[in-house]
Structure 1
Amino acid sequence: MMHGLLWFPLLLVFVLLTALGWLERRRQNLYRFWAEGSELAKLDGSGAARLKDGIITWSSFEAGSFKEKDTFEVKRLELVELMALSSGEAPLTNESQGQCRLRLIGCGKEIDVPFADAERARQWMDQLMGKARCDL
Protein backbone atom coordinates (compact mmCIF):
# COMPACT_ATOMS: atom_id res chain seq x y z
CA MET A 1 0.00 0.00 0.00
CA MET A 2 2.82 2.37 0.88
CA HIS A 3 4.48 1.90 -2.53
CA GLY A 4 1.21 2.72 -4.31
CA LEU A 5 0.90 5.99 -2.41
CA LEU A 6 4.43 6.95 -3.37
CA TRP A 7 3.75 6.45 -7.09
CA PHE A 8 0.37 8.23 -7.12
CA PRO A 9 1.83 11.81 -7.29
CA LEU A 10 4.01 10.76 -10.21
CA LEU A 11 0.95 9.42 -12.01
CA LEU A 12 -0.84 12.75 -11.48
CA VAL A 13 2.17 14.68 -12.83
CA PHE A 14 2.29 12.43 -15.88
CA VAL A 15 -1.41 12.99 -16.61
CA LEU A 16 -1.01 16.75 -16.16
CA LEU A 17 2.02 16.93 -18.49
CA THR A 18 0.22 14.84 -21.09
CA ALA A 19 -2.80 17.17 -21.01
CA LEU A 20 -0.60 20.27 -21.31
CA GLY A 21 1.28 18.73 -24.24
CA TRP A 22 -1.99 17.94 -25.99
CA LEU A 23 -3.19 21.55 -25.53
CA GLU A 24 0.06 22.95 -26.96
CA ARG A 25 -0.11 20.61 -29.96
CA ARG A 26 -3.69 21.72 -30.60
CA ARG A 27 -2.64 25.38 -30.39
CA GLN A 28 0.17 24.81 -32.91
CA ASN A 29 -2.11 22.95 -35.33
CA LEU A 30 -4.68 25.77 -35.16
CA TYR A 31 -1.85 28.26 -35.78
CA ARG A 32 -0.67 26.36 -38.88
CA PHE A 33 -4.18 26.52 -40.31
CA TRP A 34 -4.59 30.21 -39.33
CA ALA A 35 -1.23 31.24 -40.81
CA GLU A 36 -1.57 29.26 -44.05
CA GLY A 37 -0.73 31.41 -47.08
CA SER A 38 0.83 34.21 -45.01
CA GLU A 39 3.92 36.06 -46.19
CA LEU A 40 5.12 36.49 -42.61
CA ALA A 41 3.81 34.81 -39.44
CA LYS A 42 4.78 34.29 -35.82
CA LEU A 43 3.48 32.38 -32.80
CA ASP A 44 4.88 32.81 -29.33
CA GLY A 45 3.72 33.11 -25.75
CA SER A 46 2.32 36.60 -26.28
CA GLY A 47 0.13 35.77 -29.29
CA ALA A 48 0.15 35.25 -33.03
CA ALA A 49 0.61 37.68 -35.88
CA ARG A 50 0.58 37.35 -39.65
CA LEU A 51 0.99 39.41 -42.79
CA LYS A 52 -1.41 38.21 -45.46
CA ASP A 53 -2.62 40.08 -48.56
CA GLY A 54 -1.08 43.34 -47.34
CA ILE A 55 -2.83 43.25 -43.95
CA ILE A 56 -1.16 42.62 -40.62
CA THR A 57 -3.40 40.73 -38.20
CA TRP A 58 -2.64 40.23 -34.52
CA SER A 59 -4.49 37.56 -32.51
CA SER A 60 -4.37 35.86 -29.16
CA PHE A 61 -5.18 32.24 -28.36
CA GLU A 62 -8.32 32.07 -26.23
CA ALA A 63 -10.75 29.25 -25.55
CA GLY A 64 -9.38 26.94 -28.21
CA SER A 65 -9.23 29.42 -31.10
CA PHE A 66 -7.45 32.53 -32.28
CA LYS A 67 -9.31 35.73 -31.40
CA GLU A 68 -8.43 38.64 -33.67
CA LYS A 69 -7.32 41.69 -31.71
CA ASP A 70 -6.53 44.21 -34.44
CA THR A 71 -5.51 44.68 -38.08
CA PHE A 72 -3.30 47.15 -39.91
CA GLU A 73 -2.73 47.77 -43.62
CA VAL A 74 0.91 47.63 -44.68
CA LYS A 75 0.31 50.36 -47.30
CA ARG A 76 -0.53 52.80 -44.49
CA LEU A 77 2.54 51.92 -42.42
CA GLU A 78 4.66 55.01 -41.77
CA LEU A 79 6.75 53.99 -38.78
CA VAL A 80 7.55 50.88 -36.74
CA GLU A 81 8.96 51.34 -33.26
CA LEU A 82 10.35 48.70 -30.92
CA MET A 83 9.01 49.41 -27.44
CA ALA A 84 9.45 47.88 -24.01
CA LEU A 85 6.47 45.73 -23.09
CA SER A 86 5.65 47.03 -19.64
CA SER A 87 7.49 50.31 -19.12
CA GLY A 88 5.06 52.65 -20.85
CA GLU A 89 6.45 54.62 -23.76
CA ALA A 90 10.11 53.66 -23.40
CA PRO A 91 11.78 52.55 -26.65
CA LEU A 92 13.81 49.37 -26.50
CA THR A 93 17.58 49.65 -26.89
CA ASN A 94 19.53 47.54 -29.39
CA GLU A 95 21.09 45.47 -26.60
CA SER A 96 17.78 44.65 -24.90
CA GLN A 97 16.32 41.17 -25.00
CA GLY A 98 13.12 39.58 -23.79
CA GLN A 99 9.51 40.64 -24.10
CA CYS A 100 8.68 43.73 -26.13
CA ARG A 101 6.11 45.12 -28.56
CA LEU A 102 6.14 46.57 -32.02
CA ARG A 103 4.21 49.82 -32.36
CA LEU A 104 2.82 50.19 -35.89
CA ILE A 105 2.02 53.80 -36.77
CA GLY A 106 0.26 55.12 -39.86
CA CYS A 107 -2.70 57.30 -40.93
CA GLY A 108 -3.51 58.34 -37.38
CA LYS A 109 -3.71 54.75 -36.13
CA GLU A 110 -1.38 53.03 -33.68
CA ILE A 111 -1.43 49.37 -32.69
CA ASP A 112 0.92 47.45 -30.46
CA VAL A 113 1.85 43.88 -31.36
CA PRO A 114 3.47 42.02 -28.42
CA PHE A 115 6.48 39.74 -28.92
CA ALA A 116 8.08 37.29 -26.51
CA ASP A 117 11.53 37.78 -28.08
CA ALA A 118 13.15 41.13 -28.98
CA GLU A 119 15.37 39.61 -31.69
CA ARG A 120 12.37 38.20 -33.53
CA ALA A 121 10.62 41.55 -33.18
CA ARG A 122 13.62 43.29 -34.79
CA GLN A 123 13.47 40.85 -37.73
CA TRP A 124 9.75 41.50 -38.13
CA MET A 125 10.36 45.25 -38.00
CA ASP A 126 12.89 45.06 -40.83
CA GLN A 127 10.68 42.83 -42.96
CA LEU A 128 7.57 44.98 -42.41
CA MET A 129 9.36 48.15 -43.41
CA GLY A 130 10.65 46.35 -46.53
CA LYS A 131 7.13 45.27 -47.42
CA ALA A 132 5.78 48.78 -46.81
CA ARG A 133 8.36 50.23 -49.22
CA CYS A 134 7.55 47.59 -51.85
CA ASP A 135 3.82 48.29 -51.67
CA LEU A 136 4.22 52.05 -52.16
Structure 2
Amino acid sequence: MREGLLWLPLLVIFVVLTALGWMERRRQALFRLWAQGSELARLDAAVAMRLQDGRISWGSVGPKGVELAEDIAVNHLELCELMADRSGDVPLTDEAYCPCRLRLVAEGRSLDIPFSDAVKARLWVDELMSRVRCQL
Protein backbone atom coordinates (compact mmCIF):
# COMPACT_ATOMS: atom_id res chain seq x y z
CA MET A 1 0.00 0.00 0.00
CA ARG A 2 2.82 2.39 0.88
CA GLU A 3 4.58 1.74 -2.41
CA GLY A 4 1.38 2.66 -4.27
CA LEU A 5 1.08 5.91 -2.35
CA LEU A 6 4.67 6.80 -3.23
CA TRP A 7 3.78 6.65 -6.95
CA LEU A 8 0.71 8.86 -6.56
CA PRO A 9 2.62 12.20 -6.57
CA LEU A 10 4.49 11.11 -9.71
CA LEU A 11 1.19 10.30 -11.40
CA VAL A 12 -0.19 13.74 -10.48
CA ILE A 13 2.96 15.44 -11.79
CA PHE A 14 2.71 13.47 -15.05
CA VAL A 15 -0.93 14.50 -15.54
CA VAL A 16 -0.16 18.17 -14.81
CA LEU A 17 2.83 18.24 -17.19
CA THR A 18 0.77 16.56 -19.90
CA ALA A 19 -2.01 19.14 -19.50
CA LEU A 20 0.48 22.03 -19.62
CA GLY A 21 2.07 20.59 -22.75
CA TRP A 22 -1.33 20.24 -24.41
CA MET A 23 -2.22 23.85 -23.52
CA GLU A 24 1.06 25.15 -25.02
CA ARG A 25 0.53 23.11 -28.17
CA ARG A 26 -3.00 24.53 -28.49
CA ARG A 27 -1.64 28.05 -27.94
CA GLN A 28 0.91 27.58 -30.73
CA ALA A 29 -1.72 26.13 -33.07
CA LEU A 30 -4.00 29.14 -32.46
CA PHE A 31 -1.07 31.46 -33.14
CA ARG A 32 -0.20 29.66 -36.42
CA LEU A 33 -3.81 29.98 -37.55
CA TRP A 34 -3.84 33.72 -36.73
CA ALA A 35 -0.47 34.31 -38.38
CA GLN A 36 -1.33 32.66 -41.72
CA GLY A 37 -0.65 35.00 -44.60
CA SER A 38 1.50 37.34 -42.53
CA GLU A 39 4.75 38.74 -43.84
CA LEU A 40 6.29 38.43 -40.39
CA ALA A 41 4.96 36.85 -37.19
CA ARG A 42 6.38 36.24 -33.72
CA LEU A 43 5.07 34.36 -30.69
CA ASP A 44 6.52 35.33 -27.33
CA ALA A 45 5.46 34.24 -23.86
CA ALA A 46 3.93 37.68 -23.33
CA VAL A 47 2.58 38.62 -26.78
CA ALA A 48 1.80 37.50 -30.32
CA MET A 49 2.70 39.95 -33.11
CA ARG A 50 2.36 40.02 -36.87
CA LEU A 51 2.99 42.28 -39.83
CA GLN A 52 0.28 41.86 -42.44
CA ASP A 53 -0.93 44.14 -45.23
CA GLY A 54 1.11 47.09 -43.96
CA ARG A 55 -0.25 46.87 -40.39
CA ILE A 56 1.45 45.71 -37.21
CA SER A 57 -1.00 44.00 -34.86
CA TRP A 58 -0.46 42.33 -31.51
CA GLY A 59 -2.30 40.75 -28.61
CA SER A 60 -2.30 37.87 -26.18
CA VAL A 61 -3.10 34.29 -27.10
CA GLY A 62 -6.16 33.11 -25.21
CA PRO A 63 -8.26 29.95 -25.33
CA LYS A 64 -10.28 31.24 -28.32
CA GLY A 65 -7.34 32.62 -30.31
CA VAL A 66 -5.38 35.84 -30.37
CA GLU A 67 -7.17 38.65 -28.56
CA LEU A 68 -5.99 41.78 -30.35
CA ALA A 69 -4.83 44.58 -28.11
CA GLU A 70 -4.00 47.11 -30.82
CA ASP A 71 -2.81 47.52 -34.37
CA ILE A 72 -1.04 50.29 -36.19
CA ALA A 73 -0.30 51.16 -39.81
CA VAL A 74 3.36 50.87 -40.74
CA ASN A 75 3.35 54.11 -42.73
CA HIS A 76 2.33 56.01 -39.55
CA LEU A 77 5.25 54.60 -37.55
CA GLU A 78 7.62 57.33 -36.33
CA LEU A 79 9.82 55.50 -33.81
CA CYS A 80 10.51 51.90 -32.83
CA GLU A 81 12.76 51.25 -29.83
CA LEU A 82 13.33 48.70 -27.09
CA MET A 83 12.86 49.90 -23.54
CA ALA A 84 13.82 48.36 -20.20
CA ASP A 85 10.76 46.79 -18.62
CA ARG A 86 10.92 48.12 -15.08
CA SER A 87 13.13 51.18 -15.42
CA GLY A 88 10.68 53.75 -16.72
CA ASP A 89 11.82 55.36 -19.97
CA VAL A 90 15.32 53.90 -20.10
CA PRO A 91 16.36 52.34 -23.45
CA LEU A 92 17.40 48.70 -23.34
CA THR A 93 21.14 48.03 -23.47
CA ASP A 94 22.60 45.55 -25.96
CA GLU A 95 23.77 43.26 -23.15
CA ALA A 96 20.35 42.90 -21.49
CA TYR A 97 18.52 39.56 -21.54
CA CYS A 98 15.63 40.51 -19.27
CA PRO A 99 11.97 41.16 -20.04
CA CYS A 100 11.52 44.36 -22.00
CA ARG A 101 8.96 46.30 -24.00
CA LEU A 102 8.85 47.49 -27.55
CA ARG A 103 7.82 51.12 -27.83
CA LEU A 104 6.11 52.15 -31.05
CA VAL A 105 5.40 55.84 -31.54
CA ALA A 106 2.87 56.75 -34.20
CA GLU A 107 0.31 59.46 -34.78
CA GLY A 108 1.32 61.25 -31.59
CA ARG A 109 0.76 58.28 -29.26
CA SER A 110 3.13 55.83 -27.67
CA LEU A 111 2.31 52.12 -27.56
CA ASP A 112 4.25 49.66 -25.39
CA ILE A 113 4.32 45.97 -26.26
CA PRO A 114 5.70 43.58 -23.61
CA PHE A 115 8.31 40.95 -24.47
CA SER A 116 9.52 38.26 -22.09
CA ASP A 117 12.95 37.96 -23.71
CA ALA A 118 15.14 40.80 -24.94
CA VAL A 119 16.93 38.59 -27.49
CA LYS A 120 13.63 37.69 -29.19
CA ALA A 121 12.58 41.31 -29.06
CA ARG A 122 15.80 42.44 -30.77
CA LEU A 123 15.33 39.83 -33.51
CA TRP A 124 11.72 40.96 -34.02
CA VAL A 125 12.73 44.63 -34.29
CA ASP A 126 15.55 43.84 -36.74
CA GLU A 127 13.25 41.76 -38.97
CA LEU A 128 10.48 44.34 -38.69
CA MET A 129 12.73 47.25 -39.60
CA SER A 130 14.21 45.39 -42.58
CA ARG A 131 10.70 44.84 -43.97
CA VAL A 132 9.22 48.18 -42.96
CA ARG A 133 11.94 50.25 -44.64
CA CYS A 134 10.61 49.08 -47.97
CA GLN A 135 7.14 50.36 -47.10
CA LEU A 136 8.03 53.71 -45.52
- Aligned equivalent of 2:84: 84
Q: Is the 8 A contact 2:31 2:43 kept in 1?
A: yes
126-135 vs 57-66, which moves further? 126-135
8 A contact 2:31–2:61 mirrored in 1: no
User: Which whole-Å CA distance do the structure 2 matches of 1:94 and 1:30 have between them?
Assistant: 32
- Measured against aligned partners, the alpha-carbon deviations of 1:2-30 in whole angstroms (never above 9, x if no partner) come to 11111111111111111111111100111
Find the residue that maps to 2:86 and give its secondary structure.
coil
Output the TM-score relative to the length of structure 1: 0.92
Distance change in 2, residues 1:130/1:78 (3 Å): farther
8 Å Cα contact 1:35/1:41 also seen in 2: yes
1:59-114 deviation line (CA, Å, top 9, x unaligned): 10234421111111111111111101122211111111121111011221221111
Equivalent residue, structure 2, for 1:97: 97
Secondary structure, counterpart of 2:81 in structure 1: strand
Give the aligned CA root-mean-square deviation in angstroms.
Answer: 1.4
Same amino acid, percent of matched pairs: 54
Partner residue in 1 for 2:20: 20
Task: Say if 2:78 and 2:106, in contact at 8 Å, map to a contact too.
Answer: yes
Name the TM-score, length of structure 2 as normaliser: 0.92
Residue range with higher mean Cα deviation, 125-134 or 59-68: 125-134
SS at match of 2:32: helix
Spell out the pairing of 1:5-84 with structure 2 (5 A cutoff). 5-84=5-84
Whichever residue aligns with residue 39 of structure 1, its letter is E
- Counterpart contact for 1:99–1:118, Cα < 8 Å: yes
CA distance in 2 between counterparts of 1:105 and 1:87 reads 18
Alpha-carbon shift at residue 129 of structure 1 (Å): 2.8
Greater than 4 Å deviation, 4+ residue runs: none
Query: Any stretches of 5+ residues in structure 1 without a counterpart?
Result: none
Q: Is the 8 A contact 1:77 1:132 kept in 2?
A: no
Q: Does the Cα contact within 8 Å between 1:74 and 1:128 map onto a contact in 2?
A: no
Q: Is the 8 A contact 1:74 1:131 kept in 2?
A: no
1:130 maps to amino acid: S
